[in-house]
Structure 1
Amino acid sequence: MSRRARVTPAQAGLPDGGARRRTPGLRREEVAVLAGVGASWYQWLEQGRDISVSPQVLDAVARVLRLSDAERRHLYVLAGLNPPAPRADPAYEASGGEQLRRLIDTWMPYPAHIMDGYYNCVMYNHAAAMVLGMRPETTQNCILDFFTDPLYRARSVSWEQNAETVVAQFRSACSDCPDDAGFQEVVAELKQASPEFAELWERRDISAQGTIRKELEHPVAGLLVVESTAMKVPARPDLTVVLHTPLPEADTAAKLEWLASPEGRRGSMYPVAG
């Protein structure tokens, strides 16, 4: 009822006739007509009666009431149905990623990057370029680069033990969308490019995204030990933020701070091979 009260007839595409209404917003009968359901049935829905409700009808009601994605999912819960997968917030999308860019830039001097559901890299900060070797000439797909980028392979001391986890996490992401052509393309390209990936993929291991310990041998700073943490952004469920936190070993925090300093940037401008 509260959501119905905030939608004007004009917003719903109805003539208001210029007459004042006893209650603000749409009437029950108007919502029922616009959603394509019976007026009595819609009244029962508002009253919370024990009636049969389909996702299609709830989506129609959500559209008429101009519900946000969070409100739409809450409506499913109230109706006793499993809520649909979250959608990206249009207002957050309209910002052009400015909030996410601020997030990963504020994470400096530690590496951070953002990837979409297919592991395509959306953006990364300067520390990710210096430490992880992220750069425009790679495939810009995080799992493809993990297996095929010679610079990253040369730096990653923990590559072999991390490979199993990376593939298991990617298979978990694929399992959420088994018929998605985008995932199928990435898997096909990986199988062709990397026999190691193909072998690990056939193990059919599954692992949720979480933390991974990474040991990297940087050509200027030496050994770096970090922990990467993958996190979803509620307003952009299609994106994952990956933050790298220095671990106590090898004085990693101080080395990362030095690499981000003017002196460190000059020293890393022309690194030795690897």
Structure 2
Amino acid sequence: MAGAQSPLPRDRRRAELREFLRSRRARVSPADVGMPDGGRRRTPGLRREEVAVLAGVGVSWYTWLEQGRDIKVSEEVLDAIARALLLDAAERAHLYLLAGLNPPPASAAASVPASPEVQRLLESWLPRPGYVRDRHWNFTAVNDAARAVFGYGESDHNCLVSSFANARYRVLHRHWAETAPDVAAAFRADAARYPGDREFDRIAADLAAVSPEFAELWARHDVAEHTGAVKAVDHPEAGTLIFDATLLPLPEHPGHHLILHNPRPGTDTLQRLEKLMRERGLVVAHPG
């Protein structure tokens, strides 16, 4: 794996690595890792040689690492040290960065329900549209505004499929033809992050069978990042609505994203949106 682009200068990073390893070692007792106490200790926690034994590395090598010397480290050795010191996921990632390596990506859950906190955020985001999608772009939560604005119905379960197979969605989006290639390319880029996950292939194959437009775009093998967009909606009741869409990762559920739509400044989108929600009998929430 390529070296990380650490924001810390090398000397500072080595000093941080030294103090980090010492502090993690000091908090782990021999009993925590199934080792005999070994009598009185001048300092709390494990000795360096005990960490070396647990990690399966030489005592001198581990001592050099903890001293911040310029030695070569591998992912396998860092993982062994992380296990020996009982590091959690955040601490393991921090160890990688201090050692000059990029942390491995967190394993993503295929799909989990949106947490109560995220559900409350979506409701408080009204009258603005928002939803959560998992790594396969399945919806895990959709607020009332997203359903009212984008035409999502009970049969809409996947963001990609709705983009191409929901006729109402396509009619509402003014620039659908221009943005469709980017949507397909973004899904392919996400699929490449999980090369062993065949669900991406199944979704793409099923959609290509019913959408010639998607089939043609998918065959291009284009890839693109998908972090934000401007969406223009020609709504039959509310008129023209223009949003800045922002895609935010949910760290507690790797692979899941929260997509929030904010009325674009300089337009009357917010006023039109509030009117639409009132006419539909949906509560309009205002930030406190």
**Does residue 23 of the first structure (1) align with residue 40 of the second (2)?**
no
Distance 1:15 1:102, change over 3 A: farther
**Does residue 212 of the first structure (1) align with residue 233 of the second (2)?**
no
**From 124, 136, 160, the counterpart of 2:154:** 136
Distance 1:184 1:94, change over 3 A: closer
What SS class does the counterpart of residue 200 from structure 2 fall into? Answer: helix
8 Å contact kept, 1:133–1:151 = yes
Question: Normalization by structure 2: what TM-score?
Answer: 0.80
8 Å contact kept, 2:112–2:253 = no
In structure 2, the gaps of 5 or more residues are 1-21, 283-288
CA RMSD between the two structures: 2.7
What SS class does the counterpart of residue 114 from structure 1 fall into? Answer: strand
Distance 1:126 1:96, change over 3 A: closer
8 Å contact kept, 1:162–1:212 = no
What SS class does the counterpart of residue 105 from structure 2 fall into? Answer: coil
- The whole-number CA distance in structure 2 between the counterparts of 1:174 and 1:12 is 39
- The whole-number CA distance in structure 2 between the counterparts of 1:95 and 1:22 is 49
What SS class does the counterpart of residue 37 from structure 1 fall into? Answer: coil
Amino acid paired to 2:242: V
Distance 1:101 1:20, change over 3 A: farther
8 Å contact kept, 2:184–2:214 = yes
Distance 1:68 1:95, change over 3 A: farther
- The whole-number CA distance in structure 2 between the counterparts of 1:71 and 1:44 is 20
**Does residue 56 of the first structure (1) align with residue 76 of the second (2)?**
yes
Count of matched residue pairs = 260
In structure 1, the gaps of 5 or more residues are 268-274
Note the C-alpha offset of 1:2: 0.6
**Does residue 255 of the first structure (1) align with residue 275 of the second (2)?**
no
1:188-207, aligned counterparts within 5 Å? Answer: 188-207=205-224
Note the C-alpha offset of 1:248: 4.5
8 Å contact kept, 2:114–2:132 = no
8 Å contact kept, 2:232–2:240 = yes
**From 107, 123, 139, the counterpart of 1:105:** 123
Aligned to 2:240: 223
What SS class does the counterpart of residue 61 from structure 1 fall into? Answer: helix
Note the C-alpha offset of 1:82: 2.7
What is the CA deviation profile of residues 64-105 of structure 1, one whole-angstrom value per residue up to 9, with x for unaligned ones? 22223232122222223232113579xxx9996123223222
More deviation in 123-132 or 213-222? 213-222
Identity over the aligned pairs, expressed in percent?
A: 47
Aligned to 1:71: 91
- The whole-number CA distance in structure 2 between the counterparts of 1:94 and 1:197 is 27
- The whole-number CA distance in structure 2 between the counterparts of 1:241 and 1:135 is 19
- The whole-number CA distance in structure 2 between the counterparts of 1:38 and 1:236 is 37
1:116-195, aligned counterparts within 5 Å? Answer: 116-138=134-156, 140-195=157-212
